Amino acid sequence: MTIPKGLPDCLFLLLIFAAAVITLLSSTICQREKSQPEYSSSDAFRRQYRLPSQSYLNRIWEIKEKEAYIIGGRVNVPFVPDGYGSVFLANLPIGDPPSDQLMMVDTTSILSWVRCRLRETCPRQGGPRMFDPMNSSTYHNIPCSPTTLGTSFRVPYSDGMVVSRNLAYDSLLIPALYYKFYAPRAEPFKDVVFGCAHHESSGTTNNRRSGILGLGFDNISLVQQISGKFSHCFGDI
């Protein structure tokens, strides 16, 4: 078999061309690996393709930080320890003009009540906090009717304390935050049923608080009376 003249030269040129193509391809791949972000490290990949939930939560915290800066502070739940353990004390103004009442939050009690001062008695210095119903223009006793089942109440507690007297209506102010004005205000709720206690016998007396904020499940509890306009949440302590 005779090899055509000039064929070795063609094979040599073909080999040179193939080698040049392979070199060009390898150079292009290397350059792409260095320039494309999807081939970079795992940290960069996570930054570029963050989970939507993580980005959303981070955005929420950023907004809250900005709001806290604009308002000039944070809204904190008042957590106050006493000599018998730790309790939540809620400062809720009652009446008109409002009178601040420091009430212990109780998620098992169905009735909210405050210590009320009788008109014929004078407040003692260092005595327990009290609410004076005569100073409130919106206060009135509940009339006796089949729906109210009487006008008085009596609540015994496990430590031996018994609280009693009459049921009443009055306005209750719950602190709220209006972001439109970036200023704290209070939202009034009218004709809220609560107990006005004139008699407190035995048990443990705490002069720091003026009553109990009942958040139990019953028609007379604060949660049920203003449901749809009020909510509460206790996180990990």
Quick check: 214 and 106 in contact, CB under 8 A? yes
Instruction: For residue 214, give the nearest of 172, 152, 160 by alpha carbon.
Output: 172
Amino acid 149: pLDDT? 52
Q: Could you tell me the fold of the domain covering 79-225?
A: Cathepsin D, subunit A; domain 1 (2.40.70)
The whole-angstrom separation of Cα 112 and Cα 212 is 5
Quick check: 68 and 184 in contact, CB under 8 A? no
Amino acid 227: pLDDT? 77
Amino acid 30: pLDDT? 46
In this structure, is the dihedral angle defined by the CA atoms of residues 188, 230, 166 and 94, taken in order, positive or negative? Answer: negative
Amino acid 29: pLDDT? 46
Predicted TM-score (pTM) of the model is 0.57
pLDDT tens digit at each of 237 positions of the chain: 554 555 555 555 555 555 554 554 444 444 444 444 343 444 444 444 444 444 444 554 454 454 444 444 444 444 454 545 567 788 888 999 989 888 888 888 888 999 998 765 555 545 567 899 999 999 998 877 555 555 778 887 777 777 878 889 999 887 654 444 444 555 678 899 999 987 766 555 566 678 899 888 888 888 888 877 766 766 555
Amino acid 72: pLDDT? 41
Amino acid 139: pLDDT? 94
The whole-angstrom separation of Cα 114 and Cα 94 is 10
Please give the biggest Cα pair distance in the chain.
137
Quick check: 201 and 162 in contact, CB under 8 A? yes
Quick check: 163 and 197 in contact, CB under 8 A? yes
Amino acid 153: pLDDT? 81
Amino acid 187: pLDDT? 65
